[in-house]
């Protein structure tokens, strides 16, 4: 039986790199700005994600596209028009690739979107559902939502199957940004006024997200569906810090401080949004994902945090 040929974008990124290392059962083409070390030059296609790039060479004989490349969400974006910048890559670039993919005979287009399409926060124990009306608030989320809308239109017009995956915050070895900051705070044993937070947040281990992406390559029930994904183990910020501590063999120094005591000083220095994220909830219900695909997250949060700790210890 011939192997399916997969085209992967974003293979040098945090998610795409892990996907690449999990595609042994498939023939793989990779496209992006730079060639990953694991990829043979004959299977690498240097390209930008935008509205004008010709992807025909990369798409030759491809059955499945996994599109994980994106202009990623960044805090304190300094560009004059962030929405235009996000749209250029995440919307126009994605739809250009999808149109060319459908014309080249690609069977299925898997789009790694974002939970930011659903919204920025939830009330505790009222998680986002896969069928909820999207409510993106920032430029990144809007650009991803517009890409989703365009992909569904292309699927309806051409018959190419589209799979949309909306991950929550992704963590694992090599994680950066806010999650890395939390890890470093715990490792340095810095006293943290975060010992009495009772929110709930859904996170997704990189191993679980990649397993779902691989499942969606050829699962018949994935066609033209939207899937939310998490570890199915929601935690408060306080509990997350404690679990990070367990993984690193450290007892975090957590001081129970009420939210109001942090909000005022944070507002004065322009950091209220940071407090809101630490105390706010963002939950997703993945029951539909599990039922539709007969899938469960293969890795627990504790197992993934242990892998992160091991990666630090090996440096």
Residue 277 has a pLDDT of 81
User: Comparing 168 with 37, which gets the higher pLDDT?
Assistant: 168
CB half-sphere exposure, 163, CA atoms < 13 A: 31
pLDDT at 76 over 60: no
Q: Order of strands, edge to edge, in the sheet holding 64-67? A: 44-46, 27-32, 5-9, 64-67, 108-112, 161-167, 225-229
pLDDT at 254 over 60: yes
Residue 42 has a pLDDT of 81
User: Using CA atoms, how far apart are residues 73 and 65, in angstroms rounded to an integer?
Assistant: 22
Question: Above pLDDT 90, what percent of the chain?
Answer: 68
Residue 287 has a pLDDT of 97
With 0.85 as the threshold, say if the pTM is over it: yes
User: Using CA atoms, how far apart are residues 170 and 8, in angstroms rounded to an integer?
Assistant: 19
User: Using CA atoms, how far apart are residues 4 and 1, in angstroms rounded to an integer?
Assistant: 9
Residue 75 has a pLDDT of 53
Task: Show which residues are catalytic.
Answer: 140
């Amino acid at each position: 039986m011939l192997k399916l040929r997969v085209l992967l974008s974003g293979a040098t990124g945090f998610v795409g790199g892990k996907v690449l290392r999990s595609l042994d059962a498939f023939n793989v083409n990779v496209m992006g700005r730079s060639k990953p070390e694991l990829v043979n030059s004959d299977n690498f296609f240097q390209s930008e994600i935008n509205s004008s790039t010709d992807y025909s060479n990369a798409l030759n004989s491809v059955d499945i596209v996994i599109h994980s490349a994106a202009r990623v969400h960044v805090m304190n974006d300094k560009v004059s028009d962030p929405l235009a910048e996000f749209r250029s890559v995440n919307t126009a670039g994605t739809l250009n690739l999808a149109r060319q993919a459908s014309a080249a005979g690609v069977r299925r287009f898997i789009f790694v979107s974002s939970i930011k399409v659903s919204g920025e926060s939830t009330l505790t124990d009222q998680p986002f559902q896969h069928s909820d009306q999207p409510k993106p608030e920032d430029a990144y989320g809007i650009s991803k939502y517009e890409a989703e809308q365009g992909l569904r239109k292309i699927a309806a017009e051409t018959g190419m199957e589209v799979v949309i995956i909306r991950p929550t915050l992704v963590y694992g070895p090599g994680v950066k940004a806010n999650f890395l900051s939390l890890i470093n705070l715990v490792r340095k044993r810095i006293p943290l006024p975060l010992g009495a937070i009772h929110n709930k947040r859904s996170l997704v281990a990189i191993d679980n997200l990649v397993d779902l992406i691989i499942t969606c390559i050829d699962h018949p029930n994935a066609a033209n569906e939207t899937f939310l994904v998490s570890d199915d183990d929601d935690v408060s910020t306080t509990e997350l810090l404690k679990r990070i501590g367990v993984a690193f063999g450290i007892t975090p120094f957590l001081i129970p401080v009420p939210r109001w005591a942090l909000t005022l000083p944070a507002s004065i220095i322009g950091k209220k949004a940071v407090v809101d994220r630490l105390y706010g909830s963002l939950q997703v219900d993945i029951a539909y994902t599990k039922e539709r695909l007969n899938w469960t997250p293969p890795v627990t949060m504790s197992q993934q945090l242990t892998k992160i700790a091991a990666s630090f210890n090996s440096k």
